Homo-oligomer: A and B are copies of this chain.
Amino acid sequence: MKERSPVLIVGSLAFDDLEMPYGSFKDVVGGAATYSSIAASLLAPVRLVGIIGQDFEQKTLDILAARGVDLAGVERAGGKTFRWAGRYSSDLVTRETLDTQLNVFADFRPKIPEAYRRSPFVLLGNIHPALQVEVLDQVERPEIVVADTMNFWISGERAALGEMLRRVDLLVINDEEARQLAGCHNLRRAATAIRALGPRWLIVKRGEHGALLFDDLGMFFVPAYPLEDVKDPTGAGDSFAGGLVGYLASHGHVSERLLRRAMFFASAMGSFCVEDVGPRRLLEVRKEDLRRRLDAFVHMIDYGGDLPFAEVAERP
């Protein structure tokens, strides 16, 4: 069996204050890199680069370390950890930001430890695109560079974003971000425009509606898993990205076929994430849970063999 390759994940570690329709939750461990690392580490070793304050608990770091997350790249600075507060709508589909305190994250300059520089799989979480580029300047050419970004950088940091996009293999963003980045509503046209900016592959996440991969072979679609109980969508997209890269790293290489299969692992991780507040559920997921969720996915799209094209043609 091929050795699993390590995944380098760079991004935010945070505390979230969440106002959900059914209650409020303070000081929930969050951050894109946290969610991505938890998801990826079920499938491959993770190397984490980020910054935390004095208030970030050692026991959280211990939980990550126990999952195979290397924390040599996590810098503890004086001051407080990045903090985000948000309120979700009654259907949990939309949310508004109530407060953002960058704290130690304001001065974050990712320093990639020497031992991380040959990381074949790199996931650049949603941070300033100039910092994403700084990370790429510090690593040897990886097998694949996956990146996320957000509306804030799309509208305000277009030049830096352009430089980042030219150096990224796979961009993973949501549908609104794709539309904003491309300046057009139609997702297929938007995908073509975005891929022309650099990324060979583009994945457009659509929340409860699944995700679309665009590449030279065309489009590939994976549904989201419809759950009876959705508790907290925070981090679902980051869990998706973590599951995706973790799966690829578990194979040690990238192909169009593996990317398609990785989409299921990604969507499964996203579906676990939303089942409880914060990363609670994600931390509990075992291989057997993942296998069962993947079974459920396949059941949901199993149309019983080849589609009956022949019968379409044979009838008058």
Name A residues whose Cβ lies closer than 8 Å to a Cβ of B. Answer: 1, 4, 43, 90-91, 185-189, 206, 209-210, 212, 217-221, 223, 226-230, 250, 257, 260-261, 263-264, 287-288, 290-291, 294-304, 306-309, 311-315
Contact = CB atoms under 8 A, between A and B. Distances in A.
B250 A223 contact: no
A307 B91 CA distance: 32
Contacts of A311: 250
Contacts of A263: 303
A227 B309 contact: no
B304 A260 contact: yes
A258 B97 CA distance: 46
B210 A303 contact: no
A312 B287 contact: yes
A122 to B, nearest CB: 21
A247 to B, nearest CB: 9
Contacts of A294: 307, 309, 312
Given A1-B314, A221-B301, A250-B315, A308 B188 contact: no
A217 B304 CA distance: 13
Nearest to A218: B299
Given A219-B299, A260-B303, A261-B304, 20 more contacts: A1-B314, A188-B227, A188-B228, A209-B209, A210-B223, A218-B296, A219-B300, A221-B223, A221-B300, A223-B223, A250-B315, A260-B302, A260-B304, A261-B307, A263-B303, A264-B303, A290-B312, A291-B312, A295-B309, A298-B307
A256 to B, nearest CB: 9
19 contacts: A1-B314, A1-B315, A4-B315, A186-B227, A188-B226, A206-B209, A210-B210, A212-B226, A220-B301, A220-B303, A250-B311, A260-B302, A260-B303, A261-B304, A261-B308, A264-B303, A291-B313, A294-B307, A298-B306
